[in-house]
Structure 1
Amino acid sequence: MRRTLTGIALAATAMVALSFLIPLAMLVREQARDRVTTAAEQRAAALSPVLALTTRTQEVRQAVFELDPAGRLAVRLPDGGRVGVLHADADALDGAARDRATVALEVPEGWVYLQPVVLPADRVAVVEAFVPGEELERGVLVSWGVMLLVAAGLVGGSVLVADRLGARVVRSSRSLSEAALALGSGDLEVRVEPDGPPELQEAGAAFNTMADRVVRLLALERELVADLSHRLRTPLTALFLEAERLEGTPDGRRIAVAVGALEEQLTEIITTARAPLAAAPAGAGAKAGSARTSGYGGHAGCDLAEVVLERMEFWSVLAQQQGRSCERYATPRPTPVRVEEDEVAAVLDALVGNVFRHTPQGTAFGVRVERTEDRVVLTVDDAGPGVARPDRARTRGVSVGGSSGLGLDIAGRSAVEPVEIGRAPMGGARVRVAFALAGARPADRSGAAADRRTGRRRAGGHPLSG
């Protein structure tokens, strides 16, 4: 932008300079010519009174020398005699004498002015004033040089001013652009100092107002989330009491585990929402530090099939209570992904929870974990009515069928590709979520979870039974 502004200023100044330099140069040349020709005409006119008194050659020569010692005056007498050196040809002299009118003409040596003088007895003498060619151009080149220097100074000064103005505009624009990028990347403290032209100053002030507004809105939103999450503790307390009443029974243990997990999630949400806006989400550091990093290329991750297996133990109980049949399949190959266990569990809970919320009791569903060369794909099918508007279902906050509009958005945040929604072989909806496959995997897969999964394998795969 700076070079563009400088180039525009240079072109505009050059055009303006040419628009007045060329006419001015011609005017200077004409003025120089008029000055010397006017002086020549005055010398010729001064000789007329002398010729009216006498036409004697000696006396006329003396008068010519006194008027012009440089020898640029000459006279053709009525009798054909000549005084001085005549530069005009005979035809021009005869024409001036015959017409009795002044004549100005160019000659090879310069310029001449012929002044006829009418004498008694109808005689005519012709006075010639000669101006050499170099006299006609004297001072013109010097004047042109001065004008060129002035024009160059004007162009240089305008370019310098334009460059400074362009640098100011570019600096203000770059500052505003960098601040916008920083705000977009999460730096909520960034502000700009309005500078530059009035338009950019207004843009900078508007950016600061917008940033302040964003901070206030985020603070209100986070506080609202914290308040709503805190209000959920009351029904959680009732659930805890119910679980204690059922203590010792399978349902009591299951409810206690589920309520404990929900309590942890609510605590994390409240802590995150109350953290400073410019800081990293609370719990992120602890979560990253406690996650398993060995065997996943130095990144936190888990085995997706193991997590799905553990969560299906919970959902299978609910499925039995509602009379739902569940088809479950997982690849026998390892399925390491660079996604933490709680995120994978949240994805599965969102997808299976949608089946339970939006299909009648007794509707069958299926869960599959498959692996490709670089992906691990989690698929949830159901035999319900399906999704009429898949494009709207993928939009965060848009309710489809009375939902909150967040379930598929939760799944999409952990996926490496957009969530795929289609028609399942069962006749209902099919939702597929793809996760990136971790690049490395340890050879030793010891542990209770691995043993449990191995014990349930079959040829070509293993069931995800609860």
Structure 2
Amino acid sequence: MRRALAGIALAVTTMVALSFLIPLALLVRDQARDRVTTAAVQRAAALSPVLALTTRQADVQQAVSGLDPADQLAVRLPDGGLIGSLHAAPDALERAVRKRETLAMDTAGGWVYLQPVVLAEDRVAVVEAYVPRAELTRGVWVSWGVMSVLALGLVGGSVLVADRLGARVVRSSRSLSRASLALGTGDLEVRVEPAGPPELKEAGVAFNTMADRVVQLLAIEREMVADLSHRLRTPLTALQLEAELMGSSPGARRITDAVAHLETELDSIITAARTPLAAGPATGTTATGSCEVAEVVALRLDFWSVLAAQQDRPYERAFTPRPTPVRFPEDDLAAVIDALIGNVFRHTPQGTAFAVRVERTDRHVVLMVDDAGPGISDPDSALTRGVSVGGSTGLGLDIVARAARTADGQMQITRAPMGGARVRVAFALAESR
């Protein structure tokens, strides 16, 4: 009986080992490739600031030599000059220059990455990062050998355990072990079916709970980074517009204010990054703090009014005289307002009128931002996180929508009476919550 159980355990464990060894081997190969290609992309990106400052061949050559002693970087200068040896096909290089499109492709000799750099006077330089084929698989065979040895050890160990404890206990323990290995290598979908003795069942339930928590924490971290990074777009937009419109007129004060705003947002990012992941982003399930919507909207509208005047944008404001308290952090509400008004400035031509209104119903405070621009043809796509619509990142309106849900409200996108888009955001009154 013990030999029969050992034979069954040997067969079962061998099949199981192959079931995770093959995907794991492929994952190791992909990670080895991603490691070297990511390093190549970073080296290519490091040349962009250099090219923005100078396109002198000697200076660029010195920068290339400092970044890449292995001679795997090449630069095609705007005047046709060449630094290093290009490995990309001529048509791919021409496509990168003409369409200003970043390209990554496999060639007979390895992997090529083309990054166009747009310079002043609409000139385009192209940085090529090349990775030889041998570099793409360096260390893969060694890793596969180690994993094969580990798999053989796993099979032998399973036979010994089956000989002593029985096939049922072995199957349960091996299942939990495989799931742990898979989770450790990045398979966040792996779960176990609790089985076997009560102790192993409890361990399986605990593992599934842990895996669910890991997925939740990673999702919260990604949302937090994306949301907080998006807040930087507002002061950066202000700085960009000021730089364009400044000319020879004095604008030091406005630029100083914009920089201060940017520094404040950076401080918020640093503070949030040091917060434990379990705390989640600002627009999580529970909002803390409270504020008056009308007051915050008035302050942010005063900030944007300077830019509106410079761009000849007429605007209207209409605030209810009644109190508008909501249980929502003032900083997060300011980010919502900046996202909405900033979208108007980014996605409508200069001179386009807009209107900001704050109203109050029995249970909600309603914020409406209208514009006379082209409108939003597909509101569903505009609310899909990460989907680019009209050159946007797809994050701004998603942040607004989740903020509304956090405050027990909702967001709607319709056609405004002015002809453009109307974004209506409702926040539950503090009293009603």
> Is the TM value for this pair above 0.5?
no
TM-score scaled to structure 1, two decimals? 0.41
TM-score scaled to structure 2, two decimals? 0.44
